[in-house]
Amino acid sequence: MLPQTIVDFIEEKGFCSFHNGLFTMCSPDEMRAVTALVFGADNDFHHRSCHVFGYTAFGVLYCWSDKLYNFRIELPLSVIYCRALTTPENWPPQASAEHIASGMFPDEEEADFLDANGNPMFAACQRAYGANEANECYGFFPALAIAGAFGPAQDLKHIKRIKALEHFTFLAQLRQFYLMKPVSGGLQAVRPIG
């Protein structure tokens, strides 16, 4: 179940988008098939208790769980970031679940996706391919899970505008997902998901 703060917002504003379409809220039910594919039979994540409440224009899913609070699934890179599982020494947090929920919406910089050179891509994608229609996203072709992250395929010329849910379902099946954590100098794989 989503925190009451988010439920109240949805009841008042509906499933809206932010930052000119960079982040879009969605019904958790429409993403259950995607999360079921990502999580498989994982002991910590389950598609019935982990709820996607929004996604970026590039396929980063923002999620909530009563047990794990907020976490992200980066579909293009086949990774999950979840502080509850990667920094157990800081868990549970001092703040309440409702307080944490009030800051769950990403700002524009956080929601943007970076190309292989570290440049934000959203504005360039809008100029090159037009703004996404409702339920569309920008997808990499070939998918980064196949072509490799942070390589030549992570570039504006490899983007297409496509239906979000179909693309997310495709990305969820391409390869094994990994729980990752930030470490000094980069990222570290904690364990496979599923």
Look at residue 134 in the predicted model and tell me its pLDDT.
86
Please state, in angstroms and rounded to a whole number, the distance separating the CA atoms of residues 159 and 140. 5
Amino acid identity for residue 36 in this structure: A
* Cβ partners under 8 Å of residue 169, min gap 6: 33, 34, 37
Look at residue 99 in the predicted model and tell me its pLDDT.
67
Inter-residue contact 19 to 108 (CB < 8 Å): yes
pLDDT in tens, the chain (194 residues): 777 777 787 788 777 888 999 999 999 999 999 999 999 999 999 999 999 999 999 999 999 998 898 999 999 999 999 999 998 777 666 777 676 766 778 999 999 999 999 999 999 999 999 999 989 999 999 999 999 988 999 999 999 999 999 999 999 999 999 999 989 988 999 999 99
Report the predicted TM-score, pTM, of the whole model to 2 decimal places: 0.92
* Cβ partners under 8 Å of residue 11, min gap 6: none
Please state, in angstroms and rounded to a whole number, the distance separating the CA atoms of residues 28 and 47. 10
* Strand partners for 79: 74, 178
Please state, in angstroms and rounded to a whole number, the distance separating the CA atoms of residues 176 and 189. 12
Look at residue 101 in the predicted model and tell me its pLDDT.
67
As a dihedral over the C-alpha atoms of residue 143, residue 80, residue 163, residue 146, rounded to 10 degrees, the angle is 10
Residue 85 backbone phi and psi in degrees, to 5? -100, -20
Q: Report CA-CA distances (Å) from 164 to 55, 56, 161, 169, 171.
A: 9, 10, 9, 9, 10
Which structure tokens are listed for 119? Answer: 């440049």
Look at residue 165 in the predicted model and tell me its pLDDT.
97
Inter-residue contact 105 to 18 (CB < 8 Å): yes
Report the run of H or E that residue 167 belongs to, with start and end. helix 164-172
Inter-residue contact 66 to 3 (CB < 8 Å): no
SS3 state of residue 8 = helix
Look at residue 147 in the predicted model and tell me its pLDDT.
93
